[in-house]
DNA sequence: TTAATACTAAAGTAATTGCCTAACTATTTT
DNA sequence: AAAATAGTTAGGCAATTACTTTAGTATTAA
């Protein structure tokens, strides 16, 4: 009943579904109406609407209705929070591996028990 | 009952949970035993084990048991599939926005209905 | 003005997820 | 050998998810 998921929960969660990734892939080429997104997916229109809701809630997609057509598009900065988090992690363990490498190199140059 | 989710389903799905991200954040600083991961999380040890299973299944974490201690660490290339997918999308719509910008600029330079 | 289009709302269902407790196995430590 | 430690297995339960069908509401086209 509590709907206070973090940005990252919603972002990664939204991207974890293949139907939603298909929608995002289509929208990365440019805006499209709901019905076109639906035409790419083997499911009912209401289901597509629900997926769209998840993507909007995650801040990945925006949409606007004009007349009876709702046009969807990728939001600017759609993935930035996810990219940030991943980059921070990668940086962290790459640095650690660097330090480990340096340490191992120093160990082989001047071993503790050298004569 | 079918467990044939794609790499990306499992990757993004694994990262969509805050407990699992906490584990990954810890492991990005270096290897740790299960019990240390558990000490960071407000849940039972069996639950931590399940999260660990999800992370391993997603290829994000590896682990090895020596004696009675299981040591976990980040897998090399942990995030690469996710990074690839995101970069491909971003590249796609950035290119599209570039073309759109070029088009709009050309339109304002030589308008159709100019004198 | 009727009919077709493009969504939207509501409610139901089966599977999955994220947690738990209780009981168990293997390895140290005392 | 007995006790403590570190993890594992099994089973259960409530919430969430990913769908469905049915029945609407606006808009636009004929």
> Per residue in B16-56, pLDDT tens?
999 999 999 999 999 999 999 999 999 999 999 999 999 99
d(CA B31, CA A99): 14
B43: tokens are 């849940």
Residue pairs spanning A and B at CB distance below 8 A: 81
pLDDT above 50 for B91: yes
Average the pLDDT over A31-45 and give the result. 98
Average the pLDDT over A55-59 and give the result. 98
Average the pLDDT over A71-87 and give the result. 95
Percent of chain B with pLDDT over 70: 90
Pick the residue from chain B with its C-alpha nearest to A84: B83
pLDDT above 70 for B115: no
Per the CB < 8 Å rule, is B90 touching A82?
no
Nucleotide nearest B33, CA–C1', reads: D6
pLDDT above 60 for A101: yes
A98 CB within 8 Å of a chain B CB: no
Higher-pLDDT residue of B31, A2: B31
Spatial contact of A79 and B89, defined as CB atoms under 8 Å apart = yes
Spatial contact of A23 and A61, defined as CB atoms under 8 Å apart = yes
What's the pLDDT score for residue A4? 60
What's the pLDDT score for residue A110? 57
Mutate to test the interface with A, among B11, B16, B30 (most CBs of A within 10 A): B16
User: Residue B66's beta-bridge partner residues?
Assistant: B69
Average pLDDT, chain B: 90
Average pLDDT, chain A: 90
Higher-pLDDT residue of B52, A101: B52
The maximal CA–CA distance of chain B, rounded, in angstroms, is 86
Give the one of A9, A15, A89 whose C-beta lies nearest to B25's C-beta.
A89
Pick the residue from chain B with its C-alpha nearest to A13: B16
pLDDT band at A66 (very low <50, low <70, confident <90, very high): very high
Q: Strand, helix or coil at A63?
A: strand
pLDDT above 60 for B99: yes
CATH number of A7-74: 1.10.10.10
- Residue with token string 């001047």: A110
User: Residue A70's beta-bridge partner residues?
Assistant: A65
Q: Running DSSP on this structure, what letter comes out for residue B60?
A: S
Give the one of A8, A28, A92 whose C-beta lies nearest to B93's C-beta.
A28
What's the pLDDT score for residue B96? 87
A25 CB within 8 Å of a chain B CB: yes
């Amino acid at each position: 009943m509590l709907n206070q998921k973090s940005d990252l929960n919603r972002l990664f969660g939204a991207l974890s579904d293949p139907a939603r990734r298909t929608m995002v892939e289509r929208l990365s080429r440019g805006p499209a109406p709901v019905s076109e997104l639906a035409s790419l997916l083997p499911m009912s229109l209401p289901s597509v609407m629900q997926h769209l809701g998840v993507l909007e809630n995650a801040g990945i997609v925006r949409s606007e209705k004009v007349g009876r057509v709702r046009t969807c598009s990728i939001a600017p900065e759609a993935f930035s929070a996810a990219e940030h988090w991943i980059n921070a992690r990668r940086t962290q363990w790459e640095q650690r591996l660097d330090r480990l490498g340096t340490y191992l190199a120093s160990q082989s140059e001047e071993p503790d028990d050298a004569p």
